[in-house]
């Protein structure tokens, strides 16, 4: 079957020594285009956002999702981690290799867990990394994109880079 790339954002491979990122992780800036491949028939595109589920994040990610849907004419979905891990996450990881996933992670400030040696940011990062590795280990097409410390401006930039639908 013919294949078409998802060129929704230009991202470059993460620099060596990038701080324990999962294999396949990418940075949110740079001139090197990275694309996930979508089969023309039967594939779907998933945005797996490890961000706080704020209305502004949701609205921008929905806009991004809709642009991919309209441009590539594929089914799309958006989930906020880790809450999707026990629902649609099971489909992404255990279902057929029809998913092209972008996992969006945040560089979070430390937030201690009272009485524990790790913080919530480390717990969230571990969950995101485990989910990403499970996708890769099950043969899914997945990339990880860092939203930096300002996810609204980063996602807004991604939305701008994915121009109007190609018809």
What tens digit of pLDDT does each residue of 126-141 get? 889 988 998 888 888 8
Q: Find out whether the peptide bond into 82 is cis, omega within 30 degrees of 0.
A: yes
Q: What is the mean pLDDT of residues 5-22?
A: 38
Q: What is the mean pLDDT of residues 97-102?
A: 83
pTM of the model: 0.74
8 vs 26: CA distance, rounded Å:
14
The answer, yes or no, to whether residue 40 has pLDDT greater than 90, is: no
The answer, yes or no, to whether residue 36 has pLDDT greater than 60, is: no
Mean pLDDT estimate for the chain: 73
Question: Are 131 and 85 spatial neighbours (Cβ–Cβ below 8 Å)?
Answer: yes
The answer, yes or no, to whether residue 142 has pLDDT greater than 70, is: yes
DSSP, res 109:
P
Phi, psi dihedrals of residue 132, rounded to the nearest 5° = -60, -45
| Per-residue exposure over 68-88, b if at least 16 CB sit within 10 Å of its own CB, e if not | bbebbebebbbbbbbebbeeb
């Amino acid at each position: 079957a013919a294949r078409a790339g998802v060129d929704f954002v230009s991202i470059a491979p993460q620099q060596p020594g990038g701080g324990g990122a999962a294999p396949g992780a990418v940075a949110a800036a740079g001139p090197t285009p990275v694309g996930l491949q979508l089969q023309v028939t039967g594939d779907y595109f998933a945005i797996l956002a490890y961000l706080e589920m704020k209305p502004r994040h949701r609205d921008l990610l929905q806009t991004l999702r809709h642009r991919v849907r309209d441009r590539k004419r594929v089914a799309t979905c958006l989930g906020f981690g880790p809450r999707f891990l026990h629902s649609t996450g099971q489909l992404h990881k255990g279902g057929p290799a029809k998913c092209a996933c972008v996992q969006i992670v945040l560089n979070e400030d430390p937030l201690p867990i009272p009485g524990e040696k790790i913080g919530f940011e480390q717990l969230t990062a571990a969950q995101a990394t485990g989910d990403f590795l499970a996708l890769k280990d099950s043969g899914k097409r997945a990339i990880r994109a860092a939203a930096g410390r300002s996810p609204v401006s980063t996602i807004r930039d991604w939305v701008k880079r994915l121009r109007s639908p190609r018809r």
